Every structure is written in structure tokens, then in C-alpha cells.
A and B are shown apart, each in its own frame.
Chain A
Amino acid sequence: MIQISILIFAGLAYYFAVFITNKKVGYGLSFTFVALFILSIGLLVGNEYNHIGMEKVTKDRTVQISTVQKGSNVLLYKPVGTNGKENVYIYRTPDTVDAKKPLHTKADLHVDNKVKVEDNGSATLTQKTTRWNYKNGFYDFLFGLSGNGNDFVSQKNTFNVGSDWLVLTTDQASKLSKKMKDKSVQAQMKSEGEKYVKSTVMKAMQQNPSMTKAQIAKVTKQAESAFKVQAAKNLVKTLK
């Protein structure tokens, strides 16, 4: 609306200044519209530069995340600069597990990414997005044509993952998969894995000698996955 008013006031100011022969009346009317014109321009600039008539609104949403690479639970990030402060996180959600490209966080100066390690059974991403919104319908009517009613301000992303997740840079991830393909590493992991699983199962049986076959299988499986994660983490440490 404000843009249209600007045009109308300018047109009327022009008309009254030029086309009215009685100059007192003409100039008087013209001046009024000149004043309104200046006011409108002031409001226009105020809205686009200082966000007059708008307020910051923060919306929360939480989504479940899945691993980026099948096999183990992996969350990737890519450092955008060399000082470590700017990162883009790469992840998947349950709907996009099989998509060609995974999702990633916005590469923007005002996007803050954090990872919290908490063993609460689920892996989620909580996004707090702050945007500019019009304070009420009046301001929307006045400035709405500008289309700035949903401008992005900032975003805080928090990834909540359990301790069985690997959080790696894309570099580390590719180096890790290379190492995993190495035959000697695979052999070593196999033998260490078997040892670990054996000792874990034995400990469990000592504590509870009457374990059923199903229970033993469960413990074995848990031990296997725990070892996998631990071994991967150790390998990552050796990558440096």
C-alpha cells in the first residue's frame, strides 16, 4: 500500500502545483501532498532498513534424523572455512534415507550449529528459526507489497545424538571408509571384535548363569554394535 500511496501523492502534488491557476490554492494543496509524500517515503525506508512495523518471531521444530551413510550411525559436517567456526552439517531424515543427496544446514553467517551427545534413545534435530514478521494486519496491509514479511534473521540448529553416533567431517568420513577397506585393518578388527564380544558375553553369563539362548544372542548383538562404534572412533583418532 505504501508504494501505491507514494505514487498517488507524487502525482497529486504535481497536479496541484502545475495545473491549478489559483496559485494559493494550488500550492497549498500541493504542499499537503508533498508532506504526505515525504512521510510515505520515510515510512518506506523505515520499514526496509529498520523493520518498522515488524517484529522478530522464533519458530521451533524438531525432526528425527537418520544416518547419512548406511551401516553405522553417522552425522557429517563440512568445515566451510579454516578457522573452525563456520560449518555445514549434513544429515538425513527418515523420509530421505534413500534420496540421492542428503539434507544439509543452511550455509549462512547467522546459522549456528551444535551437537549434543545424550543417550535418550532417539536422534533428533531441533531447529529454532527467527524471522521478521509484521506486527499485525495493519502493518501487513501497509508494507505487505514489499514481500519482506518472512525475511530470515538467524537459525540455531541442535543435533541431539546418542553416544553410538559418529560425528565426522566429510574428510574424516572418506578417509575412514578407505581404512575400513584395508584388509589388514579388517583382519585386526575381526580378531579384536571376537575377543571383545567373547569377554562381554562371558561377563554377562557370570552375572546371570541361567541366561537363555535369546538373551545371549541379544547381549552378543549389543556387544558387536558397541564394538563397531568404538573401533570406528578409535580409527578416527588415528586419522589425525
Chain B
Amino acid sequence: MIIPIVIVVLVAAVFFMHPVIKTRKTKLDVLSLIESTLGFGAILYGFSSVGDDGWGSPIVISTIIIGLVFIVLFGIRQLRMDEPFLELRVFKVKKFSVAAALSSATNMAMVGVEMILPLYLQIVKGMSAFHSGLTLLPGALLIGVMSPITGRAFDKYGPKDLARMGMFLLTAGTIPFLFLTKDTPVLDIVILYMIRMFGISMVMMPTTTDGMNALPFDLMSHGTAVNNTVRQVFSSMGTAILISILTNVTNATKPGKGLLHSAPLQYKDDFFNATLGGYHAAFAVAILFCLIAFGISFMVKNSSKSKSIDMTKDAAAAVKAGDK
């Protein structure tokens, strides 16, 4: 299903994307590629295995350590290279680091729940995949609707209030999921998910733009690369953690197979309670991610340079300069 969409996007991108910043040719450094693949891959594998093997298993611990080692090697190499894959010096700019951290934490909180909630809807409430997607639709649409409003708010007022209110709404909208039962009304879930998305819409775009604006011009493309990488890594980790906790807790509290034969109605009830316990635990961790994001949001400050209007002027001047 996705392939046609991908093809359309690829073709459209070739024809419709305009180069805003001048691009140059860079060489591909193979060692960095290997180190980053092994490093991030190993860590991701470690976090995904937690569901099957538990936190104390040798596979989980060893892969995470191997991953960390390679990431450190990768980082050191990047800092020493002339033309690095990921220019890690962008983290020296505090505003950028805060923005990257906030968008990563937000993404973790968003993507993880986006994965788990449809599982709950389909398994516990027996909804079809179509209906579970429909439940999430109003929230997703809300982000689209809010984007222009958020953009204008950011231009005029800066990111501080947006970030804090957004993260508060995200956290407050996630806490009720701790109390999911098999009879929880679907409307409640739709509304709470909309609140979460409302919060996220206030944060993602403004903070990222804010962070980018803080970078000196020549680091901007690196900023994008670093931002995207960090965001992807953390959201993958977040999803892996949430799903492993869900599976772990469910398996630990499942009723014994014997009960299925002697009292199947009791078994069904106990089984649902076990899965609900799993979801509660996973959402508890999701709330933890939200709280982390909420905390980071207090580090976002307004400054006179936060307005993106300046950016466009800078970019126009730089492109002119680069053309000479």
C-alpha cells in the first residue's frame, strides 16, 4: 500500500522541492557508516529484545553495551573528521540541544503510544484495523489544522509558552490511559488522543525551527541531519521499550493454560486483565517520557532571534553571497 505513495512523493520531490540553501558535494565515509550502523543497530536490537528476554538477559545487556561503544567511537570519529557525517558540534549551541532533546522526547512519547494504542483497540476492544485507525484520525487531523495557527503564534510570541502548554497537555492527555479497561468508551480515547496531538502540534515545529535558527548558517544542514538522527533513534528506542514492557508484563501475569480448559470464561477474563496490566505498565512509561519532555520544555526560552522572519532574510542574503 505504501509503495505507490512513496513513488509519488519521490517524483514530486524531484520536481517540486526548491533548493533553499546551496548544496555541495561531500564524500561518503565508510568507517563512519559502519560504526553508526553497528552502534545504533545494536542499541535498537538490545531494546527490542527486552520484550522477549527481559532486562537482565545477557543478550540485552551485551548488545546495548556494544552499541554504546560503537556510538562513542562514531562520535569521536565525527569530531575529528574534516567533513563529518554528523557534525556533533551543533550540540554546543544550547538552544539547538534543548530543541533536539525536546523534539526527541516528544517524538518518543508520540510514536510509542501511536503503536500501542491500536494494539489495545484491536486486541482488547476487538475493533477492526480500519476502526482503530479511524479512532486516531481526529488527532492526526488536528495537527494539520493547528500547524498554521502554531506557526503564526510562534512567529509572534516565541516558543516558550507553546512548549510548556503543549507538553502539559500531552502529559495530562496521556495520564488517563493508565486507567484503561475493556469497557473504556471509544469516544474518550478519541478525545484524549486529540488532546495529546494538540499538545504535540504546539511543540514539534516551533522548537525545531527555534533550534535551527540558533545555529550559525554553515551548520544548518548538519543541524537537520543531527536532529533527524537523534529523533529517529530515540523514537525507535521509545517504541521498542514500550512494546517490550507491554509484552513482558502481559506474559508475566497471564493465566495458566490449564484454566483455558477447566474454566474458559474465567481464563478470558484473567487474560484480558493481564493484557490490560501490560498496557497500563507501557502507558506508565509513556507518561514518564511525557514528563521528561515537560521538564525539558521549561528550558525553552523566548529570545529576539526566535522569529523565523529573520531566518528568511539571512537565507536570502547567504544565497546571494554564495552565488557570487
Interface residues of A (CB under 8 A from B): 3, 6-7, 10-11, 13-14, 17-19, 30, 34, 37-38, 41, 44-45, 48-49, 80-83, 85-86, 107-109, 145-148, 151
Check A81–B261 contact: CB distance below 8 A: yes
Indicate if B33 sits at the interface (CB-CB under 8 A). Answer: no
Smallest beta-carbon distance A147→chain B, Å: 6
Check A48–B191 contact: CB distance below 8 A: no
**Shortest Cβ-Cβ A-B pairs, 3 listed:** A146-B185, A83-B262, A81-B263
Smallest CB gap from A85: residue in B: B263
| Known contacts A10-B198, A41-B172, A108-B265; A148/B179 CB under 8 A | no
Check A48–B181 contact: CB distance below 8 A: yes
Q: Which residues of B contact A14 (CB under 8 A)?
A: 165, 169, 198, 202
Contact of B195 (CB < 8 Å), options: A7, A45, A145, A146: A7
Contact of A41 (CB < 8 Å), options: B165, B176, B184, B264: B176
Main secondary structure of the interface of A (DSSP, over half): helix
Apart from A6-B195, A18-B153, A86-B263, 15 more pairs, CB < 8 Å: A3-B188, A10-B198, A13-B165, A14-B169, A14-B198, A17-B161, A19-B153, A30-B165, A41-B173, A48-B179, A48-B184, A81-B265, A109-B269, A147-B185, A148-B185
Contact of A49 (CB < 8 Å), options: B168, B181, B265: B181
Check A48–B202 contact: CB distance below 8 A: no
State in angstroms the CA–CA spacing of A127 and B43 once bound together: 58
Q: Which residues of B contact A13 (CB under 8 A)?
A: 165, 169
Contact of B264 (CB < 8 Å), options: A17, A86, A151: A86
State in angstroms the CA–CA spacing of A45 and B172 once bound together: 12
Q: Which residues of B contact A148 (CB under 8 A)?
A: 183, 185
| Known contacts A81-B264, A86-B265; A17/B185 CB under 8 A | no
Check B188–A48 contact: CB distance below 8 A: yes
Check B265–A10 contact: CB distance below 8 A: no
Smallest beta-carbon distance A85→chain B, Å: 6
Most buried by A among B165, B175, B261: B165
A-B contact pairs, 27 of them (CB 8 A): A3-B191, A6-B195, A7-B195, A10-B169, A18-B157, A18-B161, A18-B162, A18-B202, A34-B168, A37-B172, A41-B176, A44-B176, A45-B179, A48-B179, A48-B184, A49-B181, A81-B265, A81-B266, A85-B263, A86-B266, A109-B265, A109-B268, A109-B269, A145-B185, A146-B187, A147-B187, A151-B183
Check B194–A7 contact: CB distance below 8 A: yes
Across the A-B interface, how many residue pairs have beta carbons closer than 8 Å? 83
Interface residues of B in 263-290 (CB under 8 A from A): 263-266, 268-269
Check B175–A18 contact: CB distance below 8 A: no
State in angstroms the CA–CA spacing of A70 and B185 once bound together: 44
Smallest CB gap from B183: residue in A: A151
Q: Which residues of A contact B162 (CB under 8 A)?
A: 18
Smallest beta-carbon distance B165→chain A, Å: 5
| Known contacts A44-B176, A148-B185; A17/B191 CB under 8 A | no
Chain B interface residue bracket vs A? 20 to 34
Check A145–B265 contact: CB distance below 8 A: no
Check A17–B165 contact: CB distance below 8 A: yes
Q: Which residues of B contact A107 (CB under 8 A)?
A: 265
Check B194–A82 contact: CB distance below 8 A: no
Smallest beta-carbon distance A134→chain B, Å: 13
| Known contacts A45-B176, A48-B181; A7/B191 CB under 8 A | yes
Most buried by B among A13, A34, A45, A108: A45
State in angstroms the CA–CA spacing of A7 and B261 once bound together: 46
Smallest beta-carbon distance A22→chain B, Å: 12
Smallest beta-carbon distance B306→chain A, Å: 13
Check B266–A48 contact: CB distance below 8 A: no
Smallest beta-carbon distance B168→chain A, Å: 7
Smallest CB gap from B191: residue in A: A3
Interface residues of B in 138-193 (CB under 8 A from A): 153, 157, 161-162, 164-165, 168-169, 172-173, 175-176, 179, 181, 183-185, 187-188, 191
Smallest beta-carbon distance A110→chain B, Å: 9
Check A41–B175 contact: CB distance below 8 A: yes
Smallest CB gap from B195: residue in A: A10
Q: Which residues of A contact B194 (CB under 8 A)?
A: 7
State in angstroms the CA–CA spacing of A23 and B164 once bound together: 14
Check A81–B262 contact: CB distance below 8 A: yes
Q: Which residues of A contact B181 (CB under 8 A)?
A: 48-49
State in angstroms the CA–CA spacing of A26 and B262 once bound together: 62
State in angstroms the CA–CA spacing of A61 and B169 once bound together: 48
